[in-house]
Each structure stands twice: as structure tokens, then as C-alpha cells.
Structure 1
Amino acid sequence: MPTYRFPSPTEHRPAPANLTPDHHPTPDAPAPDHHPTPDHHPTPDHHPTPGTPAPDHLTPANLAASDSTADGSGPDEPAGPDRPDPGGAPLGDRVVAQPGRRLPAYRAVIFDFFGTLTCANRRGRQHAVVAALLGCAVEALVEVLDRSFYLRATGALGDATDTMRWICAQTGVRPSAADLRAAVEARVAAVRADTRLRPEAVTVLRAVRRRGARTALVSDCTHELPALLPRLPVAPLLDAGVFSVQVGVCKPDPAIYLAACHRLGLAPGDCLYVGDGGSQELTGATRAGMTAIRLAAADLDAHLVFNPDHGWTGPALSSLTEVLGLLDVPPLRLDVGFRAGPG
């Protein structure tokens, strides 16, 4: 199954290959709390610990000192011939400088995916199709998905097929090779069915880029999100994307945030991070050197949140559209005029 990998801007250094921690979770490791995704339901034994530190060459200080060539300014250019990245994915609309145009206070806005660019998520009925293909009860499938999220979200179980094979072993079933392949595809379809973009998501991403800032995605996710993202209208409006399943670490590990900075060619201090607060992502972004702000949309009362930022006292927004007003706010005064996020 093809997976979507965002291209790095050609003028920037390639992302380092050693973003994974020195250790990987083992199959019997406890599953941590994490940012909710459509494939996860709460269980009381999920308690994540902060990840390993970012590699020495990928730190906020080093990124701030790097000689970035990103201009990060100007409106969306009309789409020209797509230029593929080394992995073959088409490059999204480019953002280029316009003479005389004022740069935004933040050169990039980095978004969480589930619960931020999407509405609140819950697992829907299509997951029963996956269970039927595997030959197990849907309750058994859900139980395995719940307790194995961390293993799956860090890619520790292998690719999507290897991961599904491991799930089968955990549920005690042995589907045919054809049914296993079909179940992998059905998982993508089920997660896609659970994913509803916020009505304003495309408009906000486009407006951020027109104001001269770059956009990026940082998500704790399993193999399904990189597979389904190209089908979503937000995909061409993102300049970079970092998926935990591909880099081997989850939030709040600083490495996942710094990977996004590296792919954008920007220092953490140039970036505004927006998320609903799951997985202590706001605290993690702040520790990585970014300015973080919480999306506290009304629908998130029904959203599955794990390991939330209970201690977060920073600013909060009630709608994604409010992000646009922050691009001209000086970074050191971001809290002026905005309510503190809920504890």
C-alpha cells in the first residue's frame, strides 16, 4: 500500500535518518496514553513517559543557529507541473516571497491532526468489517488495538501487513493471506470513515499560506493516516508532515517536533504549534522551543483524549479560524487577549 511522504523543500537539508530513539518499545511494554486517534479507545493502563531526547545535532539551539534559506513568505503560487520528491510524492503548492509583503510573526504553523484539523473522533461501525475479515469478534479486535497503540504508532511492529499479522496473533486467529490483505485495506477505510475534517480546515490552511507562513502536520498515528492522507483536501496545503509511525517516536518527545522544524528549514522559535492537548503535545511543543496554543473547540468534549495537558495554562482558541489572527501577534505577547486553556 503506498504511503504519503511530504517532500522536504529542495532548498533545505534532508531530514536526518536517526530520529528514532535508542530503544524501541517491546510488545509487552505498557501502552501509553496518547493523542486520540480513531483506532483507539481509553484504557486505564496507558501511561506514556517522555521520549528520549532529540539527537545532539537536532536540538532547538542547533536549529535556531542553522543557516536556513527558507523565505516562508508570499501567497500560494498557481499550480505548475508537480515536482516529485525522492520518494515520488507530488510537491504541494509552493509558497514564495512577494516583494514588499510583510512577513508574519511566525514563519510556520504546525498542526496536530486528530481533533485539530479533524472534528472529534470515535471509532465507527466499519471497524466491524476488519474484525469479520480476520475472523474475530470486534470486541477482541478493539481490545488489542487499545493496548497496542504505542507499539503500532511508533512503527515497532513493522509495516501495515506485519502489524495486522501481529494483531491476528494477539486475537488468536489465522486468516488467509487474501483476507489479511483485505483487512489491511479495510483498516484504512475504517479510519478514513472516522475522519471528518473541520469545515474550516482547508480555508485556514490556505489562508495561512497566503499570509506567507508555511504549514506542517505532526501526528501520533498508525500506518493508516499516511495511507489515507493523500485522499484528503488538506494534503496539498501542507508543506511538511511528520508521522510518529514513520519517525519512531510519539509526542511529547521533542524529536517529533524538531523533525518538523528540520523539514521546514526553520528554528522552533519561528513556529506556532496548534493542538487539542492530547499526549501532552502542547507541553512537548513548548519544551521543543515552539509557541504552543490549544484548540478548545466545543466538539472536543466528545473527543477521546489521553494523557492530556492538565497543567497547561497557556492560551486557547475556540476555532481554527482564530489562528489567522495570531500570525501578526509578536511571539512574546501571544497570551495577550486570549483566554487560558482549561486545566
Structure 2
Amino acid sequence: MRYPPMCTDLSTSLTAFAAHPSGDVLFGPSSQQSAAAPAPRPVGVIFDLFGTLVAAPSAAERTAAAAKFAAILRVTPAVVDSALSDSWLARHDGQLASTSQVASHLAIRCDTPAARADELEVLLTRLAHFRLQTDATVLRALEQLRRSGARLALLSDASPDIAEVWCGSDLASHFDAVVFSCRAGAVKPASQLYRAVLRELGVAPSQALYCGDGGGDELAGAERTGIRAVRVARRGGPGSLVFGEAAWAGRAIPDVEALPSLLDNWGKR
């Protein structure tokens, strides 16, 4: 479960996405690329996870999950909420290497008996499976991209519970490479994450396209590494929780489902 310590509003509204004509979305220059030099069609597409392929959690979902944690740990939801917020970085940058370690850390942080960590670990795993559910339309879009010859990768700020259940998700079989922050030892927009996913995918920065909702300043991070980036409206809606979002004036499309059309028409005017 991804619990960010701070939330921001969606800085690019849905009306802003609608304002871009198709040509501007597909072929307009990024913040680092001149319109005078047409960009080659991407060989690899790198996706964010939360808010992009699956819905970002809402405040209501966070409250409900905190209440379940609190019931197991015999503390108030406020205590759990504080523990989750304070441990966000440790859960996402590899300091806590497994779901078991996360559960134990939260139990200690909430000053409850260590024996309750086992039950909490089960809950974390169950919630992680739930968080990785996605729409059939997303799966079809990924299938279309692969049939068109694109190589797909995932780059996600994720905690160990997500990484451990990933292979059992409907999404997993669609990806050629996966990099989770909790395994790589850093969170976005650290350049080492982008270099790692490029290496795993086997493509150069100029051959890749990064697609995300903008949390964690991921889009600018991708472009600083030489990867073109495109923003999608946050899956789950503008009221969903997000950490480290920055303004974005580059390319934008409505959702992941628009990507097959983007690549099919790449370079056409």
C-alpha cells in the first residue's frame, strides 16, 4: 500500500489535457527536445504504476486501511496513520526489505507486541493484491503495444508488499522489465532508477518513452535522463493521493489506453 506523507492536487487538470490537439500531444516538443528534429518512434515504453496503470489510493481507502491496521495493532487509526506516513521512505527505498520487516517496523512504531506483526503481514499482502487490480482496458492497451513491437517496462515507487505479489498480478505478464524502488534502493526521481530500467529493458534513453501521472516528479526525472515523457491524467481521479508531484508543461494524453494510438501514429502529421 503506498501511503505518501504529503498530498498535492493534480497540477494539470483534465481540461488541460483536452486542450491539446492530437498533433500537439503526439508530436509536440518535450521540455528538452526541439520541434525541428522529429523524434524516432519509441522502442520501449516505461510505465509508472500507481495512478497510471492502477488507481492511486483515495483518502477514503487510506482511512479504511488504517482502521484495519489499527484493529490488528490495538491502537487508534491516528497512531497507524502517523506510523505509515513516517515510514514511507523506509518502505519505498529498500531500508525495509520485505513485507515481514514492514509489518514488524509498524508494530514497533505503534508500540504494540511483536506477535501482532504476523497478522499485519497477512493484511499487507492482501491489500497489495487488491491494489494491483486494474481495468481490462489497460490490459488490452498493453497487449496492443506489445503486438506493435514495443518493449514494456515498469518503474514504480513501491513497498515490498507490492513487489512480492507483483508476479501474481494480471499486469505482470505484459512486461519485459520491472524495477521497484524498494529493490533498487532509491525513489523517484533518482537517476539510478531510470538508468536501471533502461538497462533491464535493453534500450537507449532516446529509444524510450516514459508514461506516468507525475507523482514523485517522475516526468522531469525521466527527461533529465534523456527519456521522452508523457503525462496521463491520474487514474483514480484528481482527488487521489500523490507524493512529490510537480507542474508539467510537456506532452499529455488522457490515459494509458491512448498510448497504442500514439505509437501507431508517431511521426505522422
1:113 aligns with 2:76: no
When residues 171 and 298 of structure 1 are mapped into structure 2, their CA distance, relative to the original with a 3 A threshold, is: closer
The match for 1:149 is 88
Q: Which runs of 5+ in 1 are unaligned?
A: 1-37, 45-103, 338-343
Distance in 1 separating the partners of 2:129 and 2:263? 31
1:257 aligns with 2:194: yes
1:283 aligns with 2:246: no
The match for 1:98 is none
Distance in 2 separating the partners of 1:189 and 1:157? 18
Aligned residues: 234
CA contact 1:126–1:193 (8 Å) conserved in 2: no
Per the TM alignment, residue 120 of structure 1 is displaced from its structure 2 partner at its CA by 3.2
CA contact 1:220–1:250 (8 Å) conserved in 2: yes
SS in 1 for 2:114: coil
1:207 aligns with 2:166: no
Report the structure, 1 or 2, having the larger helix content: 2
SS in 2 for 1:292: strand
Q: Percent sequence identity over matched residues?
A: 29
Distance in 2 separating the partners of 1:155 and 1:41? 16
The match for 1:234 is 171
When residues 231 and 298 of structure 1 are mapped into structure 2, their CA distance, relative to the original with a 3 A threshold, is: closer
The match for 2:105 is 166
The match for 1:131 is 70
Per the TM alignment, residue 229 of structure 1 is displaced from its structure 2 partner at its CA by 1.7
Matching residue's letter, 2:94: G
CA contact 1:153–1:223 (8 Å) conserved in 2: yes
When residues 261 and 198 of structure 1 are mapped into structure 2, their CA distance, relative to the original with a 3 A threshold, is: same
The match for 1:3 is none
> Deviation digits for residues 107-159 of structure 1, max 9, x if unmatched?
11110000000123233534433333333223211211112101110111343
CA contact 1:106–1:328 (8 Å) conserved in 2: no
Matching residue's letter, 2:254: S
Distance in 2 separating the partners of 1:271 and 1:158? 29
CA contact 2:132–2:169 (8 Å) conserved in 1: no
Distance in 2 separating the partners of 1:197 and 1:298? 10
Per the TM alignment, residue 192 of structure 1 is displaced from its structure 2 partner at its CA by 2.9
1:39 aligns with 2:2: yes
Per the TM alignment, residue 190 of structure 1 is displaced from its structure 2 partner at its CA by 2.0
Among candidates 172, 175, 181, match of residue 114 of structure 2:
175
The match for 1:189 is 126
SS in 1 for 2:238: helix
The match for 1:292 is 229
The match for 1:321 is 257
CA contact 1:293–1:314 (8 Å) conserved in 2: yes
Per the TM alignment, residue 175 of structure 1 is displaced from its structure 2 partner at its CA by 3.4
Per the TM alignment, residue 39 of structure 1 is displaced from its structure 2 partner at its CA by 3.4
1:220 aligns with 2:157: yes
Per the TM alignment, residue 171 of structure 1 is displaced from its structure 2 partner at its CA by 1.1
RMSD: 2.2
When residues 298 and 191 of structure 1 are mapped into structure 2, their CA distance, relative to the original with a 3 A threshold, is: closer
Alignment of 1:95-110 (within 5 A): 105-110=41-46
The match for 2:25 is none
Distance in 2 separating the partners of 1:203 and 1:215? 13
Distance in 2 separating the partners of 1:225 and 1:162? 13
SS in 2 for 1:115: coil
Matching residue's letter, 2:218: E
When residues 240 and 185 of structure 1 are mapped into structure 2, their CA distance, relative to the original with a 3 A threshold, is: same
Q: Which runs of 5+ in 2 are unaligned?
A: 8-39
Q: TM-score, normalised by structure 1?
A: 0.63
CA contact 2:99–2:160 (8 Å) conserved in 1: yes
When residues 277 and 43 of structure 1 are mapped into structure 2, their CA distance, relative to the original with a 3 A threshold, is: closer
Per the TM alignment, residue 220 of structure 1 is displaced from its structure 2 partner at its CA by 0.2
Distance in 2 separating the partners of 1:203 and 1:107? 19
Q: TM-score, normalised by structure 2?
A: 0.79
SS in 2 for 1:327: helix
When residues 106 and 39 of structure 1 are mapped into structure 2, their CA distance, relative to the original with a 3 A threshold, is: closer
Higher relative contact order (CA 8 A, sep 6+): 2
